[in-house]
Structure 1
Amino acid sequence: MSKVKVSQTSEAIVNLDADKVWKKLIDFGATEKFVPDLIEKVILEGNGVGALRTIYIKGGGEILERLTSINRNKLEMKFIILSTPMPVYNYEGIFQIDPKDGDKCSVKFESIYEVAIQEREEINTVIKNFQETFLSNLDK
């Protein structure tokens, strides 16, 4: 099975100030609020770098993720997926926040991963949809 490395980015303007969005992201355990149609619940173990979250998918399945980096100065955080039912390998997610005028900010969500060539198109669509849904719910 041949794999290909993919980097996919979504970006959105969020109607909250950067500090509020930053707190939501580094909380790391509230993911179900941002993708309520897909996620049943999230269990968080620990906090800060090294924290583990188990995401329980509606209809079955679990995703295990680890928070790997928090850079307050750059408003950037990173996480990796340790296990997932999706055919995605060596996944790293990166969030970066850019403050804007007023109570707004821009949030960039980048996913870097490997996927089998024959599944690339389908997985890219799934991940892009997830990114866009996640970003659209950050101000809720």
Structure 2
Amino acid sequence: MAKVYVSGIIDAPVDKVWAYARDYNGHGEWHPLIAKSDVEDGKPSDQVGCVRNFTTTAGGHLRERLLSFSDLDRSFTYNILVSPMPIENYVATFAVKPITEGNKTFVEWYATFDVGPEDEARIRQQVGQDTFAAGIVALEKAVKAR
């Protein structure tokens, strides 16, 4: 089983970051890899079980189900149902925590998944750096622009 863990610091208060990032379907507003995203069946984006259906700027199509959501813990977990990547059993968590010194936000984004050894390095890069790390940088820009 492959694991990817990325963390970062956003120079903004945790409540401001979470208010923006808590929208499970909001990644289309700030993530540079997302072209278009919708929640299926008109469900709210914070309802456990909702499915976001989206396309990437590279033309890929994904469907992801929200498995858990907590405003108290400022986190959500989701799994991939459909992906162009050669992966299985993908489960990811996004979480933010306060950094009390300096009133900043600590962001964690991590995933586990099964992938063949021939694809592992490429997929770890794609998930870790191209998706998670780039997303944290883009999220900070979006929060600060708000």
TM-score, normalized by the shorter chain, greater than 0.5: yes
Residue 88 of structure 1: CA displacement? Answer: 1.3
Residue 104 of structure 1: CA displacement? Answer: 1.3
Query: Where does residue 42 of structure 1 map in the other structure?
Result: 37
Query: Where does residue 93 of structure 1 map in the other structure?
Result: 92
Residue identity matched to 2:104: K
Ranges in structure 1 where 5+ consecutive residues have no aligned partner: none
Q: Which moved more, 1:13-22 or 1:87-96?
A: 13-22
SS at match of 2:22: helix
Residue 18 of structure 1: CA displacement? Answer: 1.3
Give the number of equivalent residue pairs: 135
Distance in 2, Cα, partners of 1:43 & 1:71 = 21
Normalized against structure 1, the TM-score is what? Answer: 0.88
Ranges in structure 2 where 5+ consecutive residues have no aligned partner: none
SS at match of 1:137: helix
Q: Note the 1:1-140 alignment, pairs <5 A.
A: 5-36=1-32, 38-45=33-40, 46-47=43-44, 48=46, 49-101=48-100, 102-129=102-129, 130-139=131-140, 140=142
Distance in 1, Cα, partners of 2:62 & 2:13 = 29
Normalized against structure 2, the TM-score is what? Answer: 0.84
> In proportion to residue count, which structure has more strand?
1
SS at match of 2:49: coil
After superposition, the CA RMSD in angstroms is 1.5
The percentage of aligned residue pairs carrying the same residue is 26
Distance in 2, Cα, partners of 1:111 & 1:34 = 20
Residue 43 of structure 1: CA displacement? Answer: 1.1
Residue identity matched to 2:9: I
